[in-house]
Structure 1
Amino acid sequence: MNARRTFLHGIGTAALGVAMVVSAQSPAAAAEAKPGTGTHQECRGVTVDKTAPVISRASVLIKAPLARVWRLHADIDRWQSWIPEIAPAHKVTPGPLRPGSVFTWSPQNMNVRSTIKTIAPLRCTAWGAPVNGITGVHLWTFRQTKDGVLATTEESWAGPPVEVDIPGSQASLDQGLSDWAQRLKGTAEARSGCR
């Protein structure tokens, strides 16, 4: 793996971007692949950059209570207990997560500073993080179903480092989202005794 791909994989696994990949294709294909509306996920009107050259989406069904899944997702200071590849992770802004809250994390030993764009407790979060020339927008949504919690994450990458290697960037982001979602699923289900 070359240095550029290592950098992008690091961003995908932790900083910007997780489960069974529902769609991990070009923006047009990703939009077309979403069941129903054919549009991107959104959180209180915020969505990924639909014009970005790289957009990925991953979903996973988690057999655990929604409150537990949400706590794992929203407790940034404890991310390192279940996804150590991004440690240390720390919420900079005191109090509950809200628009404007800032947090830092360290995928592949990089220092990333993200800002919450919007949040709806137990339903969704969206944040942005410019890193080394890449502008990323990351969205998580959570929906209770009769079989468990459907967690979906979607992320866009834009910027010169992405343009240099779009297929490599796409593959890195796809893998990163899938890895993160699977970690969330595994941790939530282990803590609830469901598997």
Structure 2
Amino acid sequence: MPAIRSTSARAALLTVPLALGLLGTGAVPAGAAPSHPAKPLTCRGEGVDPDAAVRHRTETVIQAPLHTLWELQTDVARWPAWQSSVETAERLDHGPLRKGSAFRWTTPIPPNPATPATDLEITSTVEQIKRGSCLRWSGPASAEGLRIDGVHVWNFTEVRGGVRVSTEETHTGDQVEANVPAATRILGEGLEKWLRELKAAAEACAHHQAG
């Protein structure tokens, strides 16, 4: 796509904070430094884009069985049931999520002075997967005047009291690279929200099953 001037890119960043965050799809403190861990997360030896300036990594411990978390995270078609910012989600293949599986999902962008209401459409392809352990997918997200390429890694580790879920994501593209601090903050907010909602859904399922 043609390059977009810096001023337009900054406007795009300010008008779609929720949508950008969902690429990871809670807040990171304002002005927080970008997350650049010394050792990136990997799945079967592959990690996020090492050259991306926009990146964030975070984790949480969820008090639920590993199989519950894995089912919630890999049953893509049901994401809208527990992720408040995912409007639609569909698998582009069938059966258990596996290497090569693809899925398309959307999140709404509300109207504002710079752009009309629209949807950000994300098409993700699973590049690496190890059942109950890790996931890595990549793909583009696009809307009118906006394109982002993302790489997203998830690790699941059983620990005392539950499962530690770690996630890391990178974004590249003219719009996000025009304002790296803002894009990093937005990405962080999205990943933190995803973890909060995954935690809430998984722990609710665990409580229901225990009852």
Instruction: State the TM bucket, normalised to the shorter chain.
Output: 0.7 to 0.9
TM-score (structure 2 length as normaliser): 0.80
Larger Rg: 2
In structure 1, what is the Cα distance between the partners aligned to 2:159 and 2:102? 31
Structure 1 unaligned spans of 5+: 32-37
Instruction: State the match for 1:46 in structure 2.
Output: 46
2:117 matches 1:103: no
Q: Tell me, what secondary structure is at the counterpart of 1:135?
A: strand
In structure 2, what is the Cα distance between the partners aligned to 1:157 and 1:76? 21
Is the contact made by 1:5 and 1:169 (CA closer than 8 Å) also made in structure 2? Answer: no
Displacement, 1:20? Answer: 8.8
2:14 matches 1:5: yes
Is the contact made by 1:99 and 1:117 (CA closer than 8 Å) also made in structure 2? Answer: yes
In structure 1, what is the Cα distance between the partners aligned to 2:153 and 2:33? 17
Structure 1 142/6 Cα, relative in aligned 2: closer, same or farther at 3 Å?
A: farther
Structure 1 157/43 Cα, relative in aligned 2: closer, same or farther at 3 Å?
A: same
Residues 51-82 of structure 1, C-alpha deviations (whole Å, 9 max, x = no match):
10111011010000010011000100111110
- Counting only pairs closer than 5 Å after superposition, residues 161-180 of structure 1 correspond to structure 2 as 161-180=175-194
Structure 1 25/46 Cα, relative in aligned 2: closer, same or farther at 3 Å?
A: farther
Compare 136-145 and 123-132 and name the one that shifted more: 123-132
- Which of 106, 126, 129 pairs up with 2:139? 129
Q: Tell me, what secondary structure is at the counterpart of 2:193?
A: helix
Residues 61-116 of structure 1, C-alpha deviations (whole Å, 9 max, x = no match):
00000100110001001111100311211111111111111101002222211111
Q: Identity of counterpart residues, as a percentage?
A: 35
Structure 1 89/153 Cα, relative in aligned 2: closer, same or farther at 3 Å?
A: same
Displacement, 1:121? Answer: 0.7
- Corresponding letter in the other structure for 1:57: R
- Counting only pairs closer than 5 Å after superposition, residues 1-195 of structure 1 correspond to structure 2 as 3-13=12-22, 16-17=23-24, 25-26=33-34, 30-31=36-37, 38-108=38-108, 109-132=119-142, 133-193=147-207
In structure 2, what is the Cα distance between the partners aligned to 1:55 and 1:76? 23
Q: Tell me, what secondary structure is at the counterpart of 1:128?
A: strand
In structure 2, what is the Cα distance between the partners aligned to 1:192 and 1:19? 22
Q: Which has the higher helix share?
A: 1
Q: Tell me, what secondary structure is at the counterpart of 2:192?
A: helix
Displacement, 1:18? Answer: 6.8
Structure 2 unaligned spans of 5+: 1-9, 109-118
Q: Tell me, what secondary structure is at the counterpart of 2:127?
A: strand
Runs ≥4 in structure 1, deviation > 6 angstroms? 18-21
TM-score (structure 1 length as normaliser): 0.86
Displacement, 1:48? Answer: 0.4
Structure 1 121/25 Cα, relative in aligned 2: closer, same or farther at 3 Å?
A: farther
Is the contact made by 1:54 and 1:170 (CA closer than 8 Å) also made in structure 2? Answer: yes
